[in-house]
Each structure stands twice: as structure tokens, then as C-alpha cells.
């Protein structure tokens, strides 16, 4: 599969989304851009069969993520850390550029790094995820919210995810824009600022990090 390049920002919090009702209500109800007809309400979905994402642990390596997800091997590499960015007067996050490769056909020797004998490998972290996704299209000039399943050439995924690792619960908020080019970057800040404008909870720089950074906290 061809590499998939993104520009993104994320925040992580202790406790599932239900422990952050203001954040959850904002995510589900905010209207930062016009909405196309028949866009459904955000739907929370887990992985196929309830299986976790299994990450290969590489302590100290926060610029790469390697995971087994729903029968595929996914490798992400950080291209550039663009540093902190203030989206509104109260909301600030770290913006990073990433690239991802997904492999469907993987030799058994590689699969065994993640799962052996039906159990996660010794140097892995299993993360159960339940996600609600909203999608904003940048294909037609002015941003417009569309159904998440629509195939886009240019867009911004806006998600809230419940996470569970080692019996502990977390949640995250993320904006992930694609492809990583000048046209997408031009709309990235504006869409995020419009989305966050009505959020009374503060998204701070201390909670903003990538998945590899979160895994090694």
C-alpha cells in the first residue's frame, strides 16, 4: 500500500470519555463547518472482534510506531515535529507530520512479534480502542462535514477515542489531516480553531503528544 502522509495533533486524558462529559458533549455536538445532508451523529465503534491494537515497544523511540491492527502490520514514522501551536486563546497543542505504511500480507515470523500462542508478545502493549469519528472534507474549497465513510482526496479526521491499557482507562482527542501538503496545511489551523472555539474545557500543551509518546509515559 502507498504511504499515507498526515499532519496531526492529539491530546490524551486519564479516564474514558464518560469521565469528561463536557469534552464528550462538545465533540458530539460542535458544528465548526457547514454539514452536508444526511451526515449521521458520531457513532462509537470498537475494533473488529473487540481485538486490541498491539504495539511493539521500543523504549526511547518516540518517532516511530509499529503495531498489529485487525490482521495488518502498520508502521508510522514522524517526519517532523512542528512544535506547539496555539489554536485559540485557551487551546494549544503539538503539531506533527507523520507517514504511515500498512501491510496486508505479513510473514508469520513478523506476526509472532505481536501475538504468540494467542497471547500478546512480551515486548508489546495491548490497547483496546473505541472511537467516534467525524470527517471534514476539503475537496470542494470551503470545508464541509461529511459522512466518515466517504472517500476523500483531502480532509481532516476529527476523533474522540476511549483507550484501555493494563486495566487503566484513558481517552484522546485528535485532528488528523491528509494529505500532508500546503493546501491541507492551509485549512488545518482554521478548522481546528473553529472546532475548539466553543469548548469550555482547556486543551493544554502538557496533554498533547503522539501515540508513541503516550505509550512511554
Digit-coded pLDDT (tens) for 168-212: 999 999 999 999 999 899 899 999 999 999 999 999 999 999 999
**Is position 79 within any domain?**
no
**Is 162 a member of any domain?**
yes
Count the domains in the chain.
Answer: 1
pLDDT beyond 90 at 63 = yes
Q: What CATH number is associated with residue 152?
A: 3.30.2030
Are the beta carbons of 151 and 142 closer than 8 angstroms? Answer: no
**Does 80 reside within a domain?**
no
Answer whether residue 162 shows pLDDT above 70.
Answer: yes
114: its cell numbers: 505481536
CA distance 8 to 95: 6
Residue 121 maps to a domain: no
27 belongs to a structural domain: yes
Residues spanned by the domain of 91: 4-52+86-98+126-215
Provide the Cα torsion 14, 16, 21, 25; round to 10°: 120
User: Kindly report the CA angle at 171 between 53 and 154, in degrees rounded to 5?
Assistant: 75
* Per-residue pLDDT at 140: 87
24 belongs to a structural domain: yes
15/47 Cα distance (integer angstroms)? 19
Cell numbers representing residue 217 in the block = 509515559
Strand-pairing partners, residue 161, are 131, 172
Structure confidence by residue, pLDDT tens digits, 95-148: 999 999 999 988 888 888 887 666 677 789 999 999 999 999 999 889 999 999
Percent of the chain with pLDDT over 70: 96
Phi/psi for 38 (5° steps) reads: 65, 30
Amino acid at each position: 500500500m502507498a504511504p499515507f502522509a498526515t499532519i496531526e495533533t492529539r491530546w490524551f486524558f486519564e479516564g474514558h470519555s464518560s469521565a469528561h462529559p463536557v469534552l464528550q458533549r462538545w465533540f458530539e455536538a460542535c458544528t465548526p463547518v457547514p454539514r452536508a445532508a444526511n451526515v449521521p451523529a458520531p457513532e462509537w465503534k470498537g475494533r473488529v472482534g473487540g481485538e486490541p491494537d498491539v504495539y511493539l515497544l521500543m523504549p526511547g523511540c518516540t518517532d516511530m510506531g509499529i503495531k498489529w491492527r485487525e490482521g495488518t502490520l502498520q508502521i508510522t514514522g514522524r517526519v517532523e515535529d512542528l512544535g506547539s501551536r496555539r489554536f485559540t486563546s485557551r487551546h494549544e497543542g503539538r503539531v506533527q507530520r507523520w507517514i504511515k505504511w500498512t501491510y496486508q500480507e505479513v510473514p508469520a515470523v513478523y506476526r509472532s512479534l505481536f501475538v504468540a500462542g494467542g497471547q500478546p508478545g512480551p515486548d508489546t502493549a495491548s490497547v483496546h480502542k473505541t472511537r467516534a469519528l467525524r470527517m471534514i472534507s476539503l475537496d470542494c474549497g470551503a470545508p464541509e462535514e461529511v459522512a466518515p465513510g466517504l472517500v476523500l482526496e483531502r480532509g481532516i479526521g476529527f476523533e474522540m477515542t476511549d483507550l484501555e491499557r493494563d486495566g487503566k482507562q484513558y481517552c484522546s482527542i485528535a485532528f488528523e489531516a491528509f494529505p500532508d501538503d500546503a493546501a491541507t496545511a492551509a485549512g488545518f489551523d482554521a478548522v481546528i480553531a473553529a472546532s475548539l472555539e466553543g469548548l469550555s474545557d482547556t486543551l493544554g500543551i502538557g496533554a498533547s503528544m503522539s501515540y508513541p509518546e503516550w505509550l512511554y509515559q
